[in-house]
């Protein structure tokens, strides 16, 4: 009976915690690989438009004439077009 309880608890843990986390990681990885020049993104509270993109870094224009370079992995949200107005 105890063995069945352990298997049931593991199954609940898998479907409630592990599986959704793996799905979120997969979606984030797909979003990061699909980034392109002109996309509007949010990085640690900064909103900007991608002006240049590299394998590891992204250059964001956060204000007119102000460009910052951040790691590609730091991008957290891909915003809809027109959200960021320069």
Q: Domain range spanning residue 46?
A: 36-86
- Given this model, what pLDDT does residue 53 score? 93
User: Are 15 and 43 part of one and the same domain?
Assistant: no
3-state secondary structure of 19: helix
Which pTM was predicted? 0.72
Do 30 and 49 reside in the same domain of the chain? no
Is 57 in the same domain as 70?
yes
**pLDDT value for 36:** 92
Phi and psi for 60 in degrees, rounded to 5? -115, 135
Contact assessment for residue 70 and residue 60, using Cβ atoms and an 8 Å cutoff: yes
Number of domains in the chain: 2
**Could you tell me if 49 and 29 lie in one domain?**
no
Give yes or no for a contact between 36 and 24, defined as CB atoms under 8 angstroms apart. Answer: no
* CATH code of the domain covering residue 85: 2.30.30.60
User: Which pLDDT tens digit goes with each residue over 5-51?
Assistant: 999 999 999 989 999 999 999 999 999 999 999 999 999 888 999 99
CA angle 48, 65, 52 (to 5 degrees): 55
Reply yes or no on whether the pLDDT at 86 is more than 60.
no
């Amino acid at each position: 009976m105890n063995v069945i309880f352990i298997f049931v608890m593991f199954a609940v843990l898998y479907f409630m915690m592990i599986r959704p986390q793996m799905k979120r990681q997969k979606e984030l990885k797909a979003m990061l690989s699909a980034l392109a020049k002109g996309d509007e993104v949010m990085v640690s509270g900064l909103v900007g438009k991608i002006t240049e993109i590299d394998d590891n870094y992204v250059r964001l224009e956060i204000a007119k004439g102000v460009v910052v370079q951040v790691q590609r992995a730091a991008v957290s949200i891909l915003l809809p077009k027109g959200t960021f107005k320069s």
